[in-house]
Amino acid sequence: MKRLPLEGLLVIALEQAVAAPYCTSRLADAGARVIKVERAEGDFARSYDHVASGESAYFVWINRGKESICLDIKDRRDQALLKLMVREADVFIQNLAPGATSRSDLDSTQLREANPRLITVDISGYGNTGPYRDMKAYDLLLQCETGLASITGAPQQAGRVGVSICDIACGMYAHAAILEALIERRQTGSGKGLSVSLFDALADWMTVPLLHQEYSGEAPPRMGLNHPSIAPYGAYDCQGGDQIVISIQNDREWANFCQQVLHCPDLVDSPLYANNIGRCANRSSMDGAINAVFSVTERTELIERLKRAKIAY
């Protein structure tokens, strides 16, 4: 059986909810031994719902492949046991409420002093500095505070992305940072302390809307399934009420779409739609031309045309 890349790695995870468990689930997938430390009542993500054969869907998804131990980190004996475990570990990760580990004598700096090869990861809502450093953070709040909600949803109403995207993004960044630290440790022989926040993770993903705001003076509008800077891009009604979602990414695809799907080659030569910027500026008339064809054509026929034209749908 093929050896997995992280076999032999021991990860101690004092974790809850989504961000840290997402990160450690990826380490477990790669062969690491992950020991999840839970309080007596368990990770509160266990109670999000009961849809997965009586278990929470989130909990089942991001806690597969792990071992679990119940410890009370406020209890001195349990603290001592956890410290012994961490002394043998390669990675220690935690995403408890701000200050919880320090109050329980589990400060990351002290843990690394006892185990110089240890990589520690502290996940927080807003980082270790600034006025929000002591505040709890949850996904919905971060979607609003980073501006994600302002560009999500229909024009009339902001919307929440339907999964815990801030937590997942943070878990992805933490996972990447751990892998980098493991490579560095191979070169230096020493561990390091890492800090990742939900806000910073999503703020990075919001760079494109920020650049739109800073350089154009306008934030990208909420457009439902449409894209503020790519067209055509969205859902179009077919004959009979079905819909097809299409995405045209460049002028070559636009030409193929007009000729082979719409059977309207004259649209290719129109200066209104000569490039993506023009198609976005003239989105209303362009959509009208597309709808004129789609609305009188069956979905199955349109799909065949899209396949032949190699258009993503």
**CATH code at position 280:** 3.30.1540.10
Give pTM, 2 decimals: 0.91
pLDDT over threshold 90, residue 179? yes
Residue 1 belongs to a domain = no
First to last CA, the chain: 39
Q: How confident is the model at residue 312 (pLDDT cuts 50, 70, 90)?
A: very high
Average pLDDT over residues 77-81: 97
By residue range, what is the domain housing residue 144? Answer: 10-205
Which burial class, exposed, middle or buried, applies to 138 when counting CB atoms under 10 A from its CB (0-12, 13-18, 19+)? middle
How many domains does the chain divide into?
A: 2
Residues 172 and 34 in one domain: yes
What are the tens digits of pLDDT across the range 111-125? 999 999 999 999 999
Residues 85 and 159 in one domain: yes
Residue 224 belongs to a domain = no
CATH number at residue 16: 3.40.50.10540
What are the tens digits of pLDDT across the range 6-40? 999 999 999 999 999 999 999 999 999 999 999 99
- Residue 18's φ and ψ, nearest 5 degrees, are -125, -45
pLDDT over threshold 90, residue 279? yes
Residue 219 belongs to a domain = no
- Nearest CA-CA partner of 99 in 90, 89, 91, 107: 107
Residue 25 belongs to a domain = yes
pLDDT over threshold 90, residue 245? yes
Please tell me which residue, 293 or 2, carries the higher pLDDT value. 293
Residue 168 belongs to a domain = yes
Residues 201 and 240 in one domain: no
Residue 157 belongs to a domain = yes
Residues 281 and 137 in one domain: no
* pLDDT score, position 76: 96
Residues 34 and 146 in one domain: yes
* pLDDT score, position 90: 99
Residues 118 and 248 in one domain: no
* pLDDT score, position 301: 98
* pLDDT score, position 219: 86
Domain final position from 156, 188, 205 = 205
Give me the catalytic one of 175, 212, 227, 263.
227
The chain-wide mean pLDDT, for the chain, equals 97
Residues 134 and 95 in one domain: yes
pLDDT over threshold 90, residue 261? yes
Rounded Cα–Cα distance for residues 177 and 172 (Å): 9
pLDDT over threshold 90, residue 1? no
Residues 151 and 242 in one domain: no
Residue 223 belongs to a domain = no
- The answer to whether 90 touches 59, Cβ cutoff 8 Å, is no
What are the tens digits of pLDDT across the range 80-112? 999 999 999 999 999 999 999 999 999 999 999
Mean pLDDT is lowest, of 165-179, 189-203, 212-226, 273-287, for: 212-226
Is 227 catalytic? The answer is: yes
Residues 128 and 273 in one domain: no
Per cent of the chain over pLDDT 90 is 98
* pLDDT score, position 210: 96
Residues 134 and 191 in one domain: yes
Residue 216 belongs to a domain = no
Residues 289 and 146 in one domain: no
* pLDDT score, position 63: 98
Taking each helix axis as running N to C, give the angle between helix 19-29 and helix 165-188, from 0 to 180 degrees, rounded to the nearest 10: 50
Residues contacting 161, CB < 8 A, separation 6+: 143, 148, 152
Rounded Cα–Cα distance for residues 195 and 126 (Å): 10
Per cent of the chain over pLDDT 70 is 100
Residues 33 and 78 in one domain: yes
